[in-house]
Structure 1
Amino acid sequence: MYKLHFGPLLRQYFIVITVNLSVLVTGLGLAWPSPVFVKLRNSTETILPSPMTEEQGSWIVSIGFLTGLSQHLVAAYLVDRIGRKSCIIISCLPKILVGFLYIFASEVWMLLLGRAILGISDIYAFNTVPMYASEIASKEIRGALGTILQILCSIGVVLMMCIGPFVSYLHLNIIYTCFALIVTVPMLFLPDSPYFLYSRGKNQEALRVLTYLRGSESIASDELKEYSLCEKQTVAKRELFKNRTFLKSLFIVLVLSGGTQLVGFNSISFYLQTILESTHTSVQPELASVITGIIQLLSSLCTTLVTDKFGRKPILTTTLAAMVFGLMGLGIFFKLKETIAISGLLNFLPIASVILVVIGYSAGLGSLVWVLSAELFEDSSRGIGIGISSLFSSICVFLTTKYFAQLTSVIGSAETYWLFSFNSFLLCAFVLFYVPETKGKSFAEIQSVLRGKGKSETANFCRS
């Protein structure tokens, strides 16, 4: 292990923050329906021939999930074929097109087309940015740099929630398009992933990039030796699904990715207004959305500061425990509401519970699953592994958000939240007993742990 100097540290942070600006625009897009739908339903503000219907709104929200499903494995292929940087640029350019489409939109089909394109674009961002960040980062700060994705996405959501209600539809989409244009330009000047360059036989270019990132040619050379050693142990892609180490990594990441959706956070986010309307507090839904976004942002920032000090597992287990109690509190509130008149401090139980769930999710699963997804696969299988896990995650998020309302009507609101609480408990136990700690380990050392060999000869090569 070597001591990180300020110059290389600053360069790594700058590059990773820059590449995650693409995710900031994704955050803007994810929150876009909230302020825009209010305008589209208003007969005086809508840009449509008539106010938007609930059916049209549901399709505008969901079509991106459907189009995105088709791109996970394509992105997994392209990220190893044309490179991480090229895929990130591919994720940025359509957002500019969509911005102009929104500006000139006058029919529902134009909004649907824009959301469909964004769904595809976002898949390239979420599949590629965590991978790129993990391959740029030194192992000592890889966790912190990996959590920047959640921070920038949260900033995008908060910005849209703060700006959207107070400007016109046209001005809001001009602002969105300007963001998309501004963040795309610096992507063109970023270095490509040193591992990708090495995998394409561009050893000297990989050495140059690593020397720039690590601040030392000798450290960069050691890292290239680790790449070489890992490459000797690499399994051909057609043999991956016979390889026990890859299957173990894939199983862990699938459970984490699917579990991230099955704890119900997205359902709570999308139905936050319904939850608040069940209380007799004066908290406005618009204000609550902004506050929730700020809490997400601050929680993610805290994780960035501590993940490389305390490790992934302690943070995940602690935050999942918080989600267990928060979701249990929501269930208790709705069960009491069925039998007694809620008054006084009990009205604040769901608000406190939601805050606990938001903190737990944002500081834990929301930030660290991206980190672990990039860390647990070896270099050559990272693209396909992340592609499969993100496809599974998208299916889970579609099912949980699509059928949340039906589930609550069949088994009840209280029982639904208790089910999510139980899922959080199971996921907490899984992390505690099955997920390896990756803090401070090189990719080669992580693979050795997964193979059950502890630290191997690859430990001699410290990934800087």
Structure 2
Amino acid sequence: MKTRIAPEVAAPATPTPQAPPEGRGFQWRRWRQHCAALLANLSVVAVGVTMGWTAPALPVLRGEQPDASGAPRASLEEASWVSACMPLSAIFSALPAGAVAARAGRRAALLALALPFAAGWLLVAFARSHQLWLVYLGRLVMGLAVGPCTVFVPMYCEEIAERSIRGAVGSYLDMMMVIGNIWVYALGAFLPYFWFTLLSVAVPLLFVATFFWMPESPLFLLSKGRAAEARRALRWLRGSDFDIQPEFDALLASVEKPAPEAREKASLLGLLRTNPFRSTTVRAFSIVLGLMFFQQMSGINVFIFYAVQIFNEAGSNLSGHVSAIITGVVHFVASLIASITVDRVGRRFLLLASSCVATVCLTALAVYSYLHSSGHDTTSYSWLPLAALLVYLSMYSVGFGTLTWFMMAELMPERSKGWASSAAVCFNRVLTLLLTKECPILMERVGQDVVYGAFAGFCLVACVFVWVCVPETKGKTKEEILEMLGGDKP
């Protein structure tokens, strides 16, 4: 049945204020959009803490680092499962996320994620010496929030932001995830296992306390026939001196689809029944899957999950904890720069630069690891692992780290965004599971140099993929993006 939009009561005629010109970077009238996006991304800080926790925790669980808090002990195989439990449950929780966001709303769905995050951290923190199963359970529970989070946040941010700041707002996801990494790296360097784990509960609690006051997506409200609420939300986001009527009318038109055809293509099954290989939706979805694939095969989550261990084994002059904190800070600065430049430079250029420089850095790291493991004197080059990873993480942030998530929301037609985002995040978490579970074992069996060389090869192929397949979406409307992909309407 076609969604009916409730009629609005006509407001008294007032002079129409003129919209300020676009494209001038940060403007104070847009501070509410930035605020709502940043507070939504506090949930992503919780994701970053969950992902980065293994870096300081695994040396304790493996017995490689003394700890007086009675933490459980784990073998290499068991430790790999501690890492893998989170992406394992995230795979399954990501699948229904699009449908949940469409039914409950982006805001309510995001707020609900605080519960599994907090419960998971309590389970992990209170696991004692012979209760490794509680660590597994806690990581599985946290994964139930991690999967949907990276579906809900890009969707919410893309729908509340004006076109001219869409890139900057979308780039907050990677930046806030890195803040979560730094938080847990720093706590893990100075506090016992119990305390740096327990204090991680503070992040989801802070998220609920702040994001609770933010509005729902106007597009979602219109899709549910709640036009008056949508107008109020849009008015708050744009400011009282901004003429929201043209944008409101465009949003209203975008949810009033011709019923039979739009509903048939809205689901994956319906799409497959219609000539899928000529569909704009399939083209967009293929690009999104490609970006997700190369994001993960660059090795990013291996470096985040095992940062302390990697630096300890690389022969760096600095301790693993200090090196991990430094890489996190540089990663954050690069993400901040990306949020400023992404709407000025363009998506394709940043993706190409990211993959090309990552290829060089990972190749250098592979060569160093080979020489170090072969017994060559690498003392004069002990600075290289940290330097290579700093440059790698910086370029990852300005390219695949920042752009993959919000290009998922940019490229997909509105009618397909729910299932497509869920499927893409599910695919991403499958790759995260495989890499974080198997890479530590592969590094021990075939050597770090082989693993880093493989990552470098994937980054090189990513350059070709971006050059051939990825369109430039900077400053374009949804209609213009879909026209480039084949002409479907959103």
Structure 2 match to 1:322: 357
The number of aligned residues is 454
Give yes or no for the alignment of 1:188 onto 2:212.
Answer: yes
2: CA distance between counterparts of 1:405 and 1:101?
25
1:19 and 2:40 matched: yes
What does residue range 231-246 of structure 1 map to in structure 2 within 5 Å?
Answer: 234=262, 235-237=265-267, 238-241=269-272, 242=274, 243=276, 244-246=279-281
Which of 50, 64, 69 is matched with 2:86 structurally? Answer: 64
Please tell me the residue identity of whatever aligns with 1:76: G
The residue correspondences of 1:143-222 to structure 2 (distance < 5 A) are 143-214=167-238, 215-222=242-249
Choose which of 35, 42, 47 in structure 1 pairs with 2:70: 47
1:126 aligns with 2:165: no
Question: For 1:203-282, what aligned pairs fall within 5 Å after superposition?
Answer: 203-214=227-238, 215-228=242-255, 234=262, 235-237=265-267, 238-241=269-272, 242=274, 243=276, 244-273=279-308, 275-277=310-312, 279-282=314-317
Q: Is the contact between residue 20 and residue 152 of structure 1 (CA under 8 Å) also seen in structure 2?
A: yes
Q: Which residue of 2 aligns with 1:32?
A: 53
> Which structure 2 residue ranges, 5 or more long, are not aligned?
1-18
Mean CA deviation greater in 86-95 or 102-111: 102-111
Tell me the alpha carbon deviations over residues 284-312 of structure 1, each in whole angstroms, 9 at most, x when there is no partner.
11111101111111111110010001111
Q: For the Cα contact (< 8 Å) 2:157–2:169, is it kept in 1? A: yes
Between the aligned partners of 2:28 and 2:382, the Cα distance in structure 1 is: 51
Aligned CA distance change for structure 1 residues 266 and 101 (closer, same or farther; 3 Å) = closer
Question: In the superposition, relative to structure 1, how do residues 283 and 313 fare at CA in structure 2: closer, same or farther (>3 Å)?
Answer: same
CA 1:449–1:33: 2 relative to 1, 3 Å: same
CA positional deviation for 1:419: 2.7
Task: Spell out the pairing of 1:380-399 with structure 2 (5 A cutoff).
Answer: 380-399=415-434
SS at match of 1:88: helix
C-alpha contact 1:275 1:350 (8 A) present in aligned 2:
no
Q: CA deviation at 1:267?
A: 2.6
Q: What is the distance in 1 between the residues matched to 2:369 and 2:45?
A: 35
State the partner residue of 2:8. none
Instruction: Output the TM-score relative to the length of structure 2.
Output: 0.85
User: Contact 2:83–2:436 (CA<8 Å) still a contact in 1?
Assistant: no
- What do the CA deviations read for 1:78-132 (whole angstroms, capped 9, x no partner)? 1112121121112122222234334544332322221111011111211111111
Give how far 1:452 is off.
Answer: 5.0
Separation (CA, whole Å) in 1 of partners of 2:467 and 2:319: 38
- Taking only aligned residues, the RMSD between alpha carbons, in angstroms, comes to 2.7
Measured in 2, the distance between the counterparts of 1:217 and 1:174 equals: 45
1:402 aligns with 2:449: no
Q: CA deviation at 1:164?
A: 2.5
Name the SS of the counterpart of 1:70 in structure 2. Answer: helix
Q: What's 1:297 paired with?
A: 332
CA distance in 2, matches of 1:377, 1:309: 22
CA-to-aligned-CA distance 1:26-57 (integer Å, 9 cap, x gap): 22222223334455546762435x64444443
1:140 matched to 2:164? The reply is yes
Instruction: For residue 165 of structure 1, report the CA deviation from its aligned partner.
Output: 2.8
Deviations 1:234-272 (A, max 9, x none): 433242334411100110000110111112222344444
Which residue identity is paired with 1:80?
Answer: A
Residues 171 and 421 from structure 1, CA distance in 2 versus in 1: closer, same or farther, beyond 3 angstroms? closer
Quick check: 1:39–1:45 contact (8 Å CA) kept in 2?
no
Q: State the Cα distance separating 1:146 from its structure 2 match.
A: 0.5
Percent identity of equivalent pairs = 27
Q: Closer, same or farther in 2 for the Cα pair 1:409/1:110, shift >3 Å?
A: closer
Q: 1:274 deviation in Å?
A: 5.2
Is 1:369 the counterpart of 2:391 in the alignment?
A: no
Moved more, 274-283 or 290-299: 274-283
Give the whole-Å Cα distance in 1 for the aligned partners of 2:455 and 2:82.
Answer: 27
Compared CA separation, residues 404 and 61, structure 1 to 2 (3 A)? closer
- Counterpart Cα distance in 1 of 2:60 and 2:173: 30
Unpaired runs of 5+ residues, structure 1, are 459-464
